[in-house]
Amino acid sequence: MSEKIKEIDLTGLKCPMPIVQLAKLMKQLDAGDEFTAFADDPAFCLDVEAWCNKTGHELLELQNDEKRLIAVIKKKEQ
**For position 31, which CATH number holds?**
3.30.110.40
Residue 62's CB is within 10 A of a number of other CB atoms, namely 16
Q: Supply the range of the domain harboring residue 63.
A: 5-74
Number of domains the chain contains: 1
Specify the amino acid at residue 70: I
Q: Sheet holding 58-64: strands in order across?
A: 5-9, 34-39, 69-74, 58-64
pLDDT by position in tens, the chain (length 78): 445 669 999 999 999 999 999 999 999 999 999 999 999 999 999 999 999 999 999 999 999 988 899 999 999 997
Active site residues: 15
- The pTM assigned to this predicted structure is 0.89
SS3 43: coil
